[in-house]
Structure formats: C-alpha cells, structure tokens
Structure 1
Amino acid sequence: MIDMLVAAAVCPCPPLLVPEVASGAAPELDALREACGEAVAELLAAGPELLVLVGGGPQAEVWTEGGVGSFHRFGVNRAVRLPSGGVDGPELTPALTVGAWLLERAGTELPTHACAVPADAPAERMLGLGAGLAALADRVGLLVLGDGSACRTLKAPGYLDERAAGYDAEAARALGAADTEALAALDPQLASELLVAGRAPWQVLAGAARGRGLGGRLRYDEAPYGVGYFVASWS
C-alpha cells in the first residue's frame, strides 16, 4: 500500500454552522448543515485510517496529540475536541473548531490531526504541505475548512466587490471538478483583497490530491450572508 489521499471533504467554517451559536437563525443554514454532513459521511465511507483537518489560523500550527476548541467567544458554553486525541492539546483555531464539531456530529473516533495555515501563506508552500499530509498514512482523508469571498453583497462583511462573484465561481468550479491545477493557480493577492479565507486550505488540498485521480462533486454553492460557502466531496 502506498501513502495516499483517498478522499476529502471541503466545507465552509462559519460559527453559525453550529446551531447553538446560530440560535434563532439556525434554520437559515439547515441546507448547508445537511450538505456538510453528507460530505463528511462520504469522507468517512472512503475508509481513511487517518483524518487531517486543514483550516485557517493566525500562524502555521499542527495538532497531532489532540486539541480542543470552544464557542465561548460567541456566548455559547460548548467545547469540542479532536477525535481520538489522548489529551486536550493546544486550543484549535475557530476554523478547526468548526471542523472538530463536524467530526463530532458524525460520530467518528478515527485518529485525527489538524493543521492551521495563515491566510498569506505562499501557494507553493501550501502545495508542498498538502503533499506531505497525503504521505502521513496509507489512507489519508482531509476535511478542508474555508470560506469564499466575504465581499459578495453590499451587506457582506467586506462590502461588495464586483470581482468576488467571478473569483468564487472559479473556486466553486475547481472544487466541484477536483481541478487541482486550477486551485493551485488561485491568486493569493486577489484572495486577500476579496477576503477569501479558503484559498490557502484549498491549495493544501490541491497539493495532497495531485496525481491521485480523485473525482469531485459540488454539493453546495451559495452566499447567504454575502460570503461564499462551498461544500464539495472528492473521492
């Protein structure tokens, strides 16, 4: 058996995905929650022996012996842990905390590592990181957390930028087609200007999946709060 990526799930990571955080607005994201659940289920069904969460963070950081995240900053007394972690470990970034919640919701106890990548990380470094993650075990599964542009509408966190819809459309197409070269080519500078949180994590996925022959399926592509949210399955 060769070390390889066998499947991946791509999900956005707004804290509002967690019903307790969304509170009265929770039903607005039911379709997104369902799509994320289906993507994670397909990831687990592929039979990985190691899961790796990849999401944004202020600095490059890895968790291999467990990690804990909480939603306390949103006024919710709720904590989540990486599956199978022997200890709590360092605090997870907000993106990885949402990922840990998705895995908890799926009920998995598979060994799980996590990796945070900064928004300004160079593309080539992310591609190399992905290749390294794919070699961690014979059968690796990735759960990749990241949002599209936060500049899709006038009420979006970053206000309206006319370039945002086109950027997100290309990202969604690439994620749905498992197009590693298109993801590798996403422009970090433009992503920064458009407040795209998912660019670096998606390029980690591209590096992990290069040459693996995986197929993709886009499960969700909407911008409910002026932020692009995509869900995709690669297997």
Structure 2
Amino acid sequence: MIRRLAVLPHPPLLVPELVGGAVDETEPLRAACLAAARELVDSSPHWVVIAGDPSGRRTIGPDISGTFRGYGVDVPVALSAVESTSDLALPLPALVAGWLRGAAGAMTVRVELVHPDLPPAECFALGGELAARAGAAVLVLGTGSHRHGDASVGRPDDRAGPFDEGVRAALAAADPEALRGLDPALAAELGADGRAAWQVLAGLAEATGPWRCTRSELLVPYGVGYHSAVWETGA
C-alpha cells in the first residue's frame, strides 16, 4: 500500500557540486526537495520513481549506479545502498533520484521512465498499473515551464505563469482529475517536461486515494517552474 508520495523537479542544479558559486542561490530549492525526500524515507526506505525521459518506457535499477560527469563534475550516485553496476549513460531523472536517495538516506530506488510525449490516457492507465506494485513510497520527478519571464531558458511566454499555477493548485489540492486534465500540447510548447509523469501520478492517485497534500511549493529560479509537494493517504 502506498502511504506517501512526493512530487519534485530533477534539475542538475540540485547537486551542489554542479552549481559552482550559486550554491546559496539554489539552496531554497535544494532544501525543499531534501525535506520532501526525507519525508518519503519516513514512510519507506524503498522508493519507486516515476519520471519522463526521451528514451521512453523502461525500468531502471535498483542495482545501477552512475555519475553526473556529463553535467560537468564527476559526482557518483547509486540507486541502491549496496553494490551496483555502473551505467555511464544513466538519464538525468535516474541520476537525480540516486542523488536524492543518498542525501535522504533511502535504501533503494526503482525508476519507471515514460516518454515525455506519452498521451494522457496512456499515462493515466500506466499509473493505475504501477499503483498495484509501487510499494509504500513513490517519488514523481518532473519540471514545469522553462518560459517564465526574461530569465527563462526558452523565449518568455505569458502562458507559463497560469500553467504552473494550475499545476501548483492541483498538487496543493491533491487533485488527480486536475492533473489528468493538463493539456499535453500546451505543456510541450511551454517546455514543461513533467506533464507525462504528473499524469501517471494522476492514474496512480485515482487508484489508491483519497489523498491529502501536506506540503506544496512552487519556486521559479532562472525562469523555470519547479514544483515540490508531499501527499499522504487519507481524507
């Protein structure tokens, strides 16, 4: 039975060694993510992670390790606290999941990847399938729009604010129907790569609820929407 789940982003800037002199500037986001990850450990040391990646649908771990070398610094991470096999091509969501596992003190992580363009109905169905075998703690990784204001990675888009506010409200209300209703075309235009993972969450939550949100926050450093939330079972 799933007792607690967390929704977090997976940018490389969470890792202090990768941000150079911006450690203090990125600390609020890092602190929010680690606080949520530690709450997951309180439910279970074994996590199932749901995230989007262009490699498409596959399962990774937990007997795998990797490194952030491709992001500028050789910071090793592992999906398990025991001996693992190295994979130098480990995708970013798995690397961040491994880093969060180590920082929060979890034992194992199994990563379930989906393609970021997976249609909503297929995301929802997959969430229902994963619900039956997810275990006690689930971590959903994904980012919001990267088009917030002049500091954005992409060209600024006035729709980014309302889109991420809608996601924030859905997470704060623990509302799977609102997540299910996210527009995949709009999410793609805004660079919100978390859409598919959030809609897998919607299917999982619908199959296992009711849920309540105990922590929810939206931060927008560098023009990117980063959501953090913790849900617990119960009305």
TM-score, normalised to structure 2, is 0.91
Correspondence for 1:128 among 125, 138, 141:
125
Aligned-residue offset at 1:145: 0.9
Which residue of the partner structure matches residue 184 of structure 1? 180
Work out whether 1:80 is the aligned partner of 2:77. yes
- Structure 1 counterpart of 2:91: 93
1:171 lines up with 2:167 in the alignment: yes
Task: Give the one of 30, 33, 51 matched to 1:33.
Answer: 30
Q: Which amino acid aligns with 1:172?
A: R
Whichever residue aligns with residue 141 of structure 2, its letter is L
Secondary structure of the equivalent of 1:153?
coil
- DSSP-derived class of the 1:80 partner: strand
Is the Cα contact below 8 Å between 2:38 and 2:105 reproduced in 1? no
Note if 1:193 corresponds to 2:189.
yes
The TM-score, its normalising length taken from structure 1, stands at 0.91
Query: What is the percentage of aligned positions where both structures have the same residue?
Result: 39
Alpha-carbon deviation of 1:188?
Answer: 0.7
Give the CA deviation at 1:12: 0.9
- Give 1:34 deviation, angstroms: 1.1
Q: Which aligned runs of 4 or more in structure 1 are off by greater than 6 angstroms?
A: none
Q: 1:92 to 1:222 in 2, by over 3 A?
A: same
**Residues 1:33 and 1:49: Cα distance change in structure 2 (over 3 Å):** closer
Tell me, in whole angstroms, the C-alpha distance in 2 between the residues paired with 1:213 and 1:141: 15
Distance 1:123 1:84 in 2: 34
Q: What are the superposed Cα offsets for residues 44-84 of structure 1, whole Å, 9 maximum, x if unpaired?
A: 212x3741111221122211442223211122011211025
1:209-224 matched pairs, under 5 angstroms? 209-210=205-206, 211-224=208-221
Q: Does 1:148 align with 2:131?
A: no
Tell me the C-alpha RMSD between the 2 structures.
Answer: 1.7
Contact 2:149–2:223 (CA under 8 A) maintained in structure 1:
yes
Instruction: Judge which range, 75-84 or 186-195, deviates more.
Output: 75-84
- In 1: Cα distance, 2:181 partner to 2:83 partner: 38
How many Å apart are 1:92 and its aligned residue?
2.7
Q: What is the distance in 1 between the residues matched to 2:82 and 2:175?
A: 32
Structure 2, unaligned stretches of length 5 or more?
none
Structure 1: any 5+ residue segments left out of the alignment? none
Is 1:227 the counterpart of 2:224 in the alignment?
yes
Deviation at 1:86, TM superposition (A): 5.6
- Would the alpha carbon gap of residues 227 and 85 (structure 1) be closer, same or farther in structure 2, given more than 3 Å must change? same
